[in-house]
Structure 1
Amino acid sequence: MSTPARTSSPVRQTRQRAAIRDLFAGGDEFRTAQQVHGVLERQGDKVGLATVYRALQAMAEAGELDAVRSPDGDMTYRACSSGHHHHLICRNCGKAVEIEASAVEAWADRVAAQYGFRDAGHELEMFGLCQDC
């Protein structure tokens, strides 16, 4: 569900990407490209929806944003910590928290070894309703 393996190539800095980066700073919810575009327009930033899509994808590939497919199939984005981690995401408001999942890590390692795999990876996103919803 999360973004594929991230690359470390820097994202070209543009006015539009700076506006997107500022939008995600300090937020804890995942947002779709359409939501990002709408907020930017309301703030008076002139940026096309296609540009928002390209910028979000590039920023996710560079590791600046996490990308998670929502239960309804939309790709959503959020600024997150680096490294392997998991999320618990509210289905209603999009609030997200990073969760510790050592039991999942151990299970994934056991299953991979059981079937003779090495260097196996996994992705886990949990969805529910937060206490405010």
Structure 2
Amino acid sequence: MSEGRAKELEDALRGAGVRLTRQRAALLRVIAAAEDHPDAAELHARAVTAGAGVSLATVYRTLTTLQAQGVIEKLEFQGEPARWEAADAPHHDHMIDVDSGEVMEFHSERIEKLQAEIAAELGYEIVHHRLELYVRRR
């Protein structure tokens, strides 16, 4: 778990004027430790398992506040509950397995180059993009 990451999340909550309770601090440690793309229910279950008596409503409010503070990003994949990841992660794209729901990160210089070329051909420069591939194992 990243203590530095948990501290950054604590600072973001305090910056939003949110009181840092013992339950919220435990939830922030769970969020900081996540190496996947958990949804709110998964984060709630992990926090409860870690001994934090936090409600699902508090999880949702905390996630919304952290998103507003720009430290986490909400990922809305087709047909799935919203998932969350760190906002400062290096650029990457996502593949979502439509059968298992597994979310995999990937980065492809070929795709990045092609996107930039297409935008340039049309007279544009990419300022931000998100690529999601919905996949199924053969």
TM class, shorter-length: 0.5 to 0.7
- 2:132 corresponds to which residue? 125
Tell me which of 57, 69, 73 is aligned to 2:76: 69
Deviations 1:3-43 (CA, angstroms, capped at 9, x unpaired): xxxxxx95125234432332244443221112222332344
1:115 aligns with 2:116: no
Counterpart residue type for residue 13 of structure 2: R
Deviation at 1:54, TM superposition (A): 2.1
SS in 1 for 2:112: helix
Where does the alignment leave 5 or more consecutive residues of structure 1 unmatched? 1-8
Equivalent-residue separation in structure 1 for 2:95 and 2:41 (angstroms): 22
Match of 1:34 among 26, 36, 41: 41
1:123 is paired with a residue whose SS is coil
C-alpha distance after superposition, 1:54-103 (max 9, x if no partner): 22233344454343223314211134762322233445263x44312112
Distance 2:72 2:94 in 1: 13
1:51 aligns with 2:46: no
Aligned residue in 2 for 1:99: 106
Uncovered stretches (5+) of structure 2, i.e. residues with no partner: 1-8, 15-19
Structure with more relative contact order (C-alpha pairs < 8 Å, separation 6 or more):
1
Equivalences, count:
122
CA RMSD of aligned residues (A): 3.2
Name the CA shift for 1:128/1:62 in 2 (closer, same or farther; >3 Å). Answer: farther
Task: Indicate how the Cα distance of structure 1 residues 128 and 16 shifts in structure 2: closer, same or farther if over 3 A, else same.
Answer: farther
Cα 1:120–1:88, aligned 2, differ >3 Å: closer, same or farther?
A: same
Instruction: Report how far residue 106 of structure 1 moved.
Output: 1.0
TM (norm. structure 2) is 0.64
TM-score by length of 1: 0.66
Matched, 1:11 2:15: no
How has the CA–CA distance of structure 1 residues 32 and 53 changed in structure 2, closer, same or farther, with 3 Å as cutoff? Answer: same
Query: What does residue 23 of structure 1 align with?
Result: 30
- 1:30 to 1:129, Cα distance in 2 relative to 1, 3 A: farther
Which protein shows a greater Rg?
2
**More helix, by proportion:** 2
Tell me by how many angstroms 1:122 deviates. Answer: 1.1
